[in-house]
Structure 1
């Protein structure tokens, strides 16, 4: 990187930023546009426009936010230095008089070069200029100290002070009187900047006054005094070491503060990024295996979440998102916290597996892409989730917080996009990838590194730090990291995403095709089950516990659920025998047979509804049971009861009484009551919200630099003086006849000319063209600004002028 000492002006110092940009090589202009891509929207017409745009407040704020801490400290030092500031003066502000950190002097050229590359500083090493907008943002004012803690200068504070008061101050400070305020201010400023004289002045200060100066030296430099200040404060006020800014308010002048600081602008310069000192080291195998276990759990959790929502998904709030009650219910179903449940829901949404169905009663449901995702191998399913997470701007960590209007932010709702999220996630993983495999660092050390690379300028706990904390937690949940260290497939996710699944695949457990049936009516799955087996077992039994092994419990209700879905007792016995490594326990056989024997013994249909049974005694028992009163039953015949409730309510009521009724159709057939899986219409995943313009690629940068250079040549090309050409508005002005004659002459001689042109949208521009043909009211010419052949309407040309020399 070019340092400030290597970029000093040799052929005359540039007078403006535009002049310096004009002298830069194309590679340097491309570097500027790459570092500040907002300058390309749209492509500047010339280098003057580029310089003007680079000095706008919005662009400067964005550039300052992307500086590392030391580069920002150097900019802050330049903001409190004289303009222009020589390199030696800047070095003195950064290193001070003594005990300077050698790294400060070593890193200073790099920081200045960074500021120069981003067009925040310009000029040679003897005259470093900070762009005016940067100075306005960083320099202290009478009401606002700078980030360095320094106050305004003596000249700024005393502006408007009475000449008599100024004379009293310099006389009390031991300086000779002057004839005007300007020389008085200069005399006081020179005193505060002279180390020898200031040391002698402060040697006579009262101890209390010295203590006050010590408290104000490193900022904030402001204080308050009463109408009748104490003697030690009066001593400081009389000598200008404290100057009034408003009634009852005083400030320590910048020059005096710098003397007290030993010449340093910052208490603690930070030239080097904090080291990521590893504190925990694991074997690579341990890290990868732990992360793979988390990755497998992540797949199972997402599948469980979407499986539960495919039959009865939660409603979408009117303002969008998931209600607090539904989020709590989801967290309970997943056996996790609400924060983690919000992460899984947002992850499925970002991956395009979950969306709202758009119906009248709008609900969340899996998308058709979920079915395609289920058919992928486990490692491919994980890669799909991890890639979506890395690029998403959706930020689950914000769920439960408040927006700018005080409204609670809901999971899957609006206002959860944060443009900085993908960059922070990637940077956190890159820092972990810079460590040896299996190495973890404390989170605080990682956050300190991030704060150095992008120091917050407006808040102590900024969004980037919270994003980093959430990233570390989410990466562990998703299996990108294991025990705080980046796994092998996590590293591949950064450099070669296509290789990540292959690295993960050998670490994932092989799905099993069997369970272990036990006599206590439970089944133990010693590992992950193949999907058909897991789905059938979930229909026949209820999950009792999860972990390394999943425990399923068989109950009368779960067996009835399988029978309601159309299974027969023979089907269930065959299924259990085929998939158990242990003999089917007798209690389980009895349970299946008992529920199957009673299943369908009662039949419920629509009258309002009715119950029929071949056994009249059973119907008599139901009528005699007081608990059936709510069903409002009456006997129609010996084997039929009528009810005044719908069939589904009648079914639930009889089941609550301990019976196992089955629904039947109008034809008398048993109705299978298995719920259908619901899918949304095809949906695309939410598009990430970019943080400003994207970084341009090499092709775009090259084209932009050529266009800016060409436009600059057109705007700065020397012209032959012509009475018919005026400079009003910056465009040449000639009559139609003069324009036509000059164009025809240029065609004959083959020389380029300078024109002003107004396009169909009314935008005016200056161009250098080489006319080739003039006919039909149009000029065909090679446009040096765009470097291509174009056609120009003669009536849109404001004027034409010959160039003093050819422009190629």
Structure 2
């Protein structure tokens, strides 16, 4: 590619100067790290684009074939005609132009098709050097591998290869390169090789190209060394020159070229209605799982490990209480943390507990609660599937602990859902095929192990959340893939609105049965569900929930202040069947005993108006550990804490009630440990944020202005109607208007500025952005981008044209 004058462009900076503004903006969009801070000019932009960290990040955005094209360029001559590159990639000619466009768009490749040039740093990353093989499995070139070889040894090699002697080492290497790049002549030479020597070359041809030999090599190895078909890379190692390997590969840079993405086959297909029903049911189950987790932690908040996170035993205890596998429990715990429903309470004895937001979330409609879970899941960088594994130092990764963040997770998660959306409705894919597709699309984005784990975890978590049903993407969840990740919140709201009609209406009744159970044929309204959870024990879950009434559960309801009459009325009002006689008897029997004994704090005491009942307790052998003694006809003293005394008496079959210091019954409400207000954690950013269109336009304008200032001799022009040497003076409103106008037009302005030390100066700037009381501009005087407080600008004037 040449400039307008016909002279080939010599540097990447020259290439960037030829690009239109739209193309420069696209470069900054796909490589946002180049914007931090805004480069002063195109030379600085090109320099920054060639740094190792930036190039490595740019290569992570390539698909497998574009990466293979870059790898081939790294081992090709520099510059490389496109025809030579195509020969290295047989079978990829159709997609090669697209791959080159991707490389050029990221400024990893520049030059015309006749002179393709890979950025030097990219060449070093993809083909490290003589001591390391490239990603293609090719070793160093003949010139690199023979560097330092004595002239006499080169002449010996020429003679053994049947070539005439030359005058110097440079011409000797040139003669060998000419031999090795001539397919017919090199083939004739290899035909003379012993069979054992040919077998050795076959072992090295696809890499690694290095082999180990003894200090006294065998005859086949000596034959290869004498003709430079192998070259020494160390006292006991040899290397296969790149030119020889390419000949043995028939000119191919890669053993397996992958020009097209692998297909994602359909494993099974289901009717759409069946998928949506399964997904909607699982969406409701996800809400239940999170609620049960937080209710459990409200009652018994688990401690925070000293190093942070949840202990292995606490995870196992929580999983057992929720009747879930530990991996699923870890997922719900991490998701609740991401939503902001659970956090550390920050007290001396630090524990995890629900946050105040949990009470707000619980009162939302089902679809809104589900939307909150999904909105936190999609951008989450913490990978719950890693819990229980080991970090680089061999330490166990704990739920809610450090080391679980993987910045690539949101990208993979979004892409997995997009691939599901591209399949026919109701189609469930093969998990391994999805992971393989992700590998082709971003081979350098993460390790194969992490990619496969995140892919499998995404599909499993999507099923748990109700995003998929029976392995296929639900129709209402397709909204989650409609846009890019930046508008995920809007997409989640659309998905929740589509889910809402599929959710069953909460019921206001149960079916009471004679065996002291109640059956809830569907989800219950919150007040009914909360009361039943106190009045009865949950016996089984599923499409229908079964509750069992026991003496302990009825006593628990009476402890909250309800009376027997209130319990009878509640059961009659919310049952579609008559209240069974055994249940009515159970309520009356427990109520008759409830509260006759009163336990309070002395150390602890038992009070009762019935002398006979107190004597019965005192005579019971099971009360001996309590060390009771009669203080008065109606009071027993105990050598035990009130809570222990209450529990022991209840184990003995009594129904005592706790009382306060004033003698009033202490009502036992549901446990409700809460943390102070906590905000949900922010996902770990995956590099710099993507710039918006306004910032890109301003940045390109500033870079162009800086480049013009750097490459064109100029001097500031005198301001219109302003005496030389005096600072411009304008009102704050006029200054702001002048700055905003310059942002839109791209013109330079002349300003007076007073710094923090009170020193006044005149400057010529090109404003980029005006917001928050500051102006960001390219300063022609300082030759860099700066930010100035507007209150320190004495005035602004346009530059006059001469």
**TM-score, structure 1 length as denominator?**
0.88
* 1:504 and 2:499 matched: yes
- Alignment counterpart, residue 618 of structure 1, candidates 613, 616, 639: 613
Q: 1:240 aligns with which of 228, 236, 242?
A: 228
Equivalent residue for 1:489, pick from 463, 476, 492: 476
Q: Quote the Cα distance in structure 2 between the aligned partners of 1:676 and 1:652.
A: 17
Over residues 310-342 of structure 1, what are the superposed CA-to-partner deviations in whole Å (9 max), with x where a residue is unaligned?
A: 233222222222222221111111111111111
> Which of 411, 421, 434 is the equivalent residue of 1:423?
411
State yes or no: 1:251 paired with 2:239.
Answer: yes
The equivalent residue for 1:47 is 42
Q: Residues 708 and 170 (structure 1 numbering): CA distance in 2 closer, same or farther, change over 3 Å? A: same
What does residue 382 of structure 1 align with?
Answer: 370
One of 260, 264, 279 as aligned partner of 2:252: 264
- Which residue of 2 is the match for residue 466 of structure 1? 453
CA distance in 2, matches of 1:92, 1:681: 66
Q: String of CA shifts for 1:712-752, please: whole Å, max 9, x gaps.
A: 000011469xxxxxxxxxxxxxxxxxx9xx96999899xxx
Partners of 1:786 and 1:663 in 2: CA distance? 71
Partners of 2:59 and 2:444 within 8 A in 1: no
1:522 counterpart residue number: 517
**Given the alignment of the two structures, is residue 340 of structure 1 paired with residue 324 of structure 2, yes or no?**
no
Q: How much does 1:795 deviate?
A: 11
Equivalent residues in 2 for 1:130-529, closer than 5 Å:
130-456=118-444, 459-461=447-449, 463-495=450-482, 496-529=491-524
Cα 1:26/1:579, change in 2 over 3 Å: same
Give the conservation status (yes or no) of the 8 Å contact 1:514–1:529.
yes
Matching residue of 2:20: 25
Contact 1:710 1:787 in 2 (8 A): no
CA RMSD of aligned residues (A): 3.0
1:15 aligns with 2:10: yes
CA distance in 2, matches of 1:241, 1:280: 53
- Superposed displacement of residue 407, structure 1: 2.6
Contact 1:573 1:589 in 2 (8 A): yes
Deviations along 1:483-505, one digit per CA (max 9) or x if unpaired, are 22111221112333332222101
CA deviation string 1:627-662 (max 9, x = no partner): 222111112234332212122221112122222222
How far did residue 612 of structure 1 move? 2.9
Report the Cα distance in structure 2 between the residues aligned to 1:121 and 1:540, rounded to whole angstroms.
Answer: 71
1:772–1:360 CA distance, 2 compared to 1 (3 A) = closer
Which residue of 1 is the match for residue 765 of structure 2? 783
CA distance in 2, matches of 1:412, 1:773: 54
Q: Aligned-pair distance for 1:686?
A: 0.7
Instruction: List gaps (5 residues or longer) in structure 1.
Output: 96-100, 721-738, 750-766, 799-805
For residues 773 and 683 of structure 1, do their structure 2 counterparts lie closer, same or farther at Cα, with a shift above 3 Å needed?
closer
8 Å CA contact 1:783–1:790 kept in 2: the answer is: no
- C-alpha distance in structure 1 between counterparts of 2:451 and 2:12, whole Å: 32
- My pick for the range that moved more, 81-90 or 662-671, is 662-671
**In 2, Cα distance between the equivalents of 1:150 and 1:79?**
10
What is the CA-CA distance between 1:785 and the residue it aligns to?
A: 7.7
Structure 2 counterparts to residues 26-105 of structure 1, below 5 A: 26-95=21-90, 101=91, 104-105=92-93
Q: In the TM superposition, what are the counterparts of 1:597-676 in structure 2 within 5 Å?
A: 597-676=592-671
Give the aligned partner of residue 712 of structure 2.
717
1:536 aligned partner: 531
Superposition deviation, residue 768 in structure 1: 11
Give distance in 1, aligned partners of 2:329 and 2:402: 17
Find the aligned partners of 1:769 and 1:386 in 2 and give their Cα distance. 48
Measure how far apart 1:359 and its partner are: 2.5
Between the aligned partners of 1:794 and 1:247, the Cα distance in structure 2 is 59
Q: Confirm or deny that 1:708 pairs with 2:703.
A: yes
Distance 2:781 2:23 in 1: 39
Which SS does the other structure have where 1:365 is aligned? strand
| Higher mean displacement: 406-415 or 69-78 | 406-415
Range moving further from structure 2, 588-597 or 452-461: 452-461
Q: How far apart are residue 796 of structure 1 and its match?
A: 8.3
Decide whether the 8 Å contact of 1:33 with 1:701 is kept in 2: yes
Q: Following the alignment from structure 1 to structure 2, what is the Cα–Cα distance between the partners of residues 10 and 110?
A: 28
Residues 609 and 644, structure 1, Cα contact 8 Å, conserved in 2: yes
CA–CA distance in structure 2, aligned partners of residues 538 and 363 of structure 1: 25
- 1:457: Cα distance to partner? 7.5
What CA deviation, in whole Å up to 9, does each residue of 1:681-701 have, x standing for no partner?
Answer: 222111121111111111111
Please state how far the C-alpha of 1:778 moved relative to its aligned partner: 6.4
Contact 1:140 1:150 in 2 (8 A): no
CA distance in 2, matches of 1:93, 1:298: 52
CA contact (8 A) 1:85 1:129 kept: yes
Aligned-pair CA distance for 1:771: 6.0
Aligned counterparts of 1:45 and 1:31: Cα–Cα separation in 2: 18
Shift of 1:772: 9.1
Q: Answer yes or no: is 1:585 the counterpart of 2:612.
A: no
Per-residue deviation at 1:122?
0.9
- Give, in whole Å, the separation in 1 of the partners of 2:776 and 2:650: 84
Cα deviations across residues 278-327 of structure 1 (Å, max 9, x unaligned)? 23222221111111111010011111111222233222222222222221
For 1:690, the equivalent position in structure 2 comes to 685
Q: CA deviation at 1:409?
A: 2.1
Following the alignment from structure 2 to structure 1, what is the Cα–Cα distance between the partners of residues 448 and 332?
Answer: 29
Separation in structure 2 between the aligned mates of residue 371 and residue 769 of structure 1, nearest angstrom: 56
Mapped partners of 1:654, 1:383: distance in 2: 46
Residue number in structure 1 paired with 2:794: none
CA gap 1:304/1:9 in 2 versus in 1, 3 angstroms: farther
Three-state SS of the structure 1 residue aligned to 2:264 is coil
Deviation of the 1:10 alpha carbon: 7.8
Aligned match of 1:567: 562
- Range with bigger deviation, 75-84 or 567-576: 567-576
DSSP 3-state at the match of 2:405: coil
Residues 39-79 of structure 1, C-alpha deviation per residue, up to 9 Å, x if partnerless? 00011000000000000011001011111111111111111
Q: SS state of the match for residue 683, structure 2?
A: coil
> How far has the Cα of 1:196 moved from its partner?
0.5
Deviates more, 1:567-576 or 1:463-472: 463-472
Secondary structure class of the residue paired with 1:187: helix
* Secondary structure of residue in 2 paired with 1:280: strand
Deviations 1:543-601 (A, max 9, x none): 11111111111111111111111121111111111112222222212211211112122
Aligned-partner Cα distance in 2 for 1:432–1:595: 56
For structure 1, which segment, 355-364 or 770-779, has the greater mean C-alpha deviation from structure 2 after superposition? Answer: 770-779
Instruction: Say which SS state the counterpart of residue 110 (structure 1) adopts.
Output: helix
